[in-house]
Amino acid sequence: MGKLLRWTAYGLGGLLALLLVAAAAVFVLSESKLRKRYDAEAERLPPTPASAAGIAEAARMAKVHGCSSCHGEGLTGHVMDIPAFVARVVAPNIPEIAARASDQQLAAAIRQGIGHDGRALYIMPSPQYSRFTDAETAALIAWIRTLPRGGGVSGKMSPGPMGRLELAGGGFESSRDLVATYRQQVPLTLAGFEKGRHIAATGCAECHGPALYGQENAFGPAPDLRVAAGYDLDQFKTLLRHGVTPGGKPLGIMADVAKEGLTHLTDAEIAALHAYLQARAKKLGT
């Protein structure tokens, strides 16, 4: 009996040692990914400063894209927990970062998913923001530089056990890595619908996929945007302003996105987006 207990103890000890080695390997690999630094591509920014009108428009577009939903009011920072022991994400104090970062570094964070310290960003929607025009990016940076400093939240993402496992296995992709996907997979180009396509590419792709064919998200499936063919313009306005179906049913995360961001789209922008999605659905077949 004693011999059996001794060998059982040896077995459990060996198993524990293997688990510790595996955990250490996961930590080292995930930490190396978090600490790795990248050289950003040179950003093409207009040589002339953004106008007052351009800065005001950038402030509105920041509302459309829900910047404060992650970074908090005034972009002074906010902490978010991804459940199931994945990660605690710190959306940092942007005015504080802007005080010590160049326009090139801020543009790289916005469009390339690379922070001012050279590390890859996570959760930041740089993949869809990579489609901002040079002028839009410059105006957004100019607006950021008008925001007051002070207070707020700083820090780095803190992965939990599941987050580190995902990082080590490649399942938790950085914003920098996803930018490459968004450059390869783009929404259908249709002559005469450029404005609507740009709104879709920069505003809808995060949930509905790089080319708008739909995808699975943390909040559930987001459909191919050919579904827009079933909405007339008034119904589509209601969808984007309130996140409800023609029958008045709230559409989960869409309801939150609509109220926090899409409600700031103008009627003309909604009409342009609707026209593009209708034409896309006709081209692809519904």
Res 5: pLDDT:
62
Asked if residue 257 lies in contact with residue 207, where contact means CB atoms within 8 angstroms, the answer is yes
pLDDT at 24: 81
The gap from C-alpha 209 to its chain's centroid, in whole angstroms, comes to 11
Distance CA 281, CA 117 (A): 42
* CA of residue 208 relative to chain centroid, distance: 12
pTM of the model: 0.88
**Among 248, 253, 194, 193, which residue's Cα sits nearest to residue 221?**
253
Judge whether 181 and 127 are in contact, CB under 8 Å.
yes
Q: What pLDDT does 83 receive?
A: 74
Residue 106 one-letter amino acid = L
Confidence at residue 251, expressed as pLDDT on a 0 to 100 scale: 82
Residue type, 192: G
Residue located via tokens 């034409």: 279
Q: How far apart are CA 269 and CA 26, in angstroms?
A: 46
- The reported pLDDT for the residue numbered 259 is 87
Per-residue pLDDT of the chain (286 residues; tens, 9 = 90+): 566 666 666 666 666 676 677 678 777 788 888 889 999 999 999 999 899 999 999 999 999 999 988 898 899 988 888 776 577 788 899 999 999 999 999 999 999 999 999 999 998 999 999 999 999 999 999 999 999 987 777 777 788 888 888 888 887 889 999 999 999 999 999 999 999 999 999 999 999 999 999 998 877 788 999 999 999 999 999 999 998 888 888 888 888 888 889 999 999 999 999 999 999 999 998 7
Q: How many CB atoms lie within 10 A of CB 25?
A: 11
174-192 pLDDT, tens per residue? 999 999 999 999 999 999 9
Q: Which pair of structure tokens corresponds to residue 132?
A: 């901002």
Architecture of domain 186-284: Orthogonal Bundle (1.10)
Q: Output the pLDDT for position 221.
A: 86
SS3 88: strand
Residues in the chain: 286
Q: What is the predicted pLDDT for the residue at 256? A: 87
CB 257 within 8 A of CB 243: yes
